[in-house]
Amino acid sequence: MACMPSPNPQASAVDATAIDAIRRFNRFYTQRAGVLAPYLGSEFTLTEVRVLYELAHREAPVASELARVLGLDGGYLSRVLKRFEQAGWLRRQPSPTDARQSLLALTEAGQAVFAPLQQKSCDEAAALLAPLPPPDRAALVQAMGRIEGLLDPASRAPTRTVLLREPAPGDLGWVVQQHGELYAREYGWDARFEGLVAGIVADYVRQFQPGVERCWIAELDGQRVGSVFVVRQSATTAKLRLLLLRPEARGLGLGGRLTDECIAFARRAGYREMVLWTQSCLVAARGIYASRGFECTGSEPHAEFGVPLVSETWRLALD
């Protein structure tokens, strides 16, 4: 049924064909995204899952911040939060700057409730993209960014297009080069580190096992800015390697996105745990790992790259 003429002058100025196109796309996408069914096959509504997502990814927000970000009525949000608190998924603590506000955070039980929902969301997004060849995936992601930028001009300050993709010819050499340059400049590491990275990349190419190993290259506005690898350590253990972000891509959540892709892939591949090797001075990376549930299980001082360092082994149970 076509729309009737609107008494709103702003709405009446819009071409009816464009309105029909928007409505048709909304019907198409809500069906494809499964929004009309029980969301992600869970007991939760779409709004409740969005609240859980913000609680899991924001650093101790207050209720008014969540209401603003999600565009929710304060009373409705209060009822959602009360339900979460009664279930033992949410904890509150007084704000040190405003006694009228409470800082909100998911409890360990809340994280356990949210984790499978996040995994299910990642899996469904992957299922939508999997049938498309890489160029079409890139075009789809760019088109979605274009839609978002047009409908929300504030998000275009400036517009950033992020793409996580499989490596193309030349990318693996770039990974080695960037590790050598960045770690020498930022931490004073010598050529032995670049040699280590070159060996890891070479082993990945020579011994690549489809389905249980993967590399992602991160692009920002069409330029390479990061990388990460998942490699097989054993039948039950995946290893996260070579997480890297160039300076211009930091602070945008890309490191977390790359890490989340690794974790989701490792779970789909049937691994039971994920391990990684890092250095104590890499504070930002360690923060990403800790926020995803990795735990440091060992450390050892060394000077393999020309400066005093403390290496660390981190582990994450996946089942």
pLDDT at 162 over 70: yes
Q: What is the pLDDT of residue 298?
A: 96
Higher-scoring residue by pLDDT: 2, 313: 313
Cβ atoms of 106 and 59 within 8 Å: the answer is no
Burial of 221 (0-12, 13-18, 19+ CB in 10 A): middle
CA dist 105 and 81 (Å) reads: 11
pLDDT digits (tens, 9 = 90+) for 174-208: 999 999 999 999 999 999 999 999 999 999 999 99
pLDDT at 135 over 80: no
Same CATH fold assignment for domains 39-117 and 166-317: no
pLDDT at 241 over 90: yes
Q: Which two tokens stand for residue 318?
A: 């996946």
Cβ atoms of 303 and 187 within 8 Å: the answer is no
Say which CATH topology domain 39-117 has. Answer: Arc Repressor Mutant, subunit A (1.10.10)
Residues 6+ apart with CB under 8 A from 130: none
Q: What is the pLDDT of residue 36?
A: 60
pLDDT digits (tens, 9 = 90+) for 38-65: 666 677 888 888 888 888 887 778 888 8
pLDDT at 285 over 90: yes
CATH architecture of 166-317: 3-Layer(aba) Sandwich (3.40)
> Rounded mean pLDDT of 241-253?
92
pLDDT at 1 over 80: no
- At residue 163, φ and ψ (nearest 5 deg) are -140, 130
Q: What is Dmax (Cα atoms) for the chain?
A: 74
Share of residues in the chain with pLDDT > 90 (%)? 50
Q: Where are the domains of the chain?
A: 39-117, 166-317
pLDDT digits (tens, 9 = 90+) for 72-120: 888 888 999 999 999 999 998 888 777 788 888 888 898 888 888 888 8
pTM: 0.55
Cβ atoms of 162 and 274 within 8 Å: the answer is no
What is the pairing mode between strands 309-317 and 295-302?
antiparallel
Q: What is the pLDDT of residue 308?
A: 96
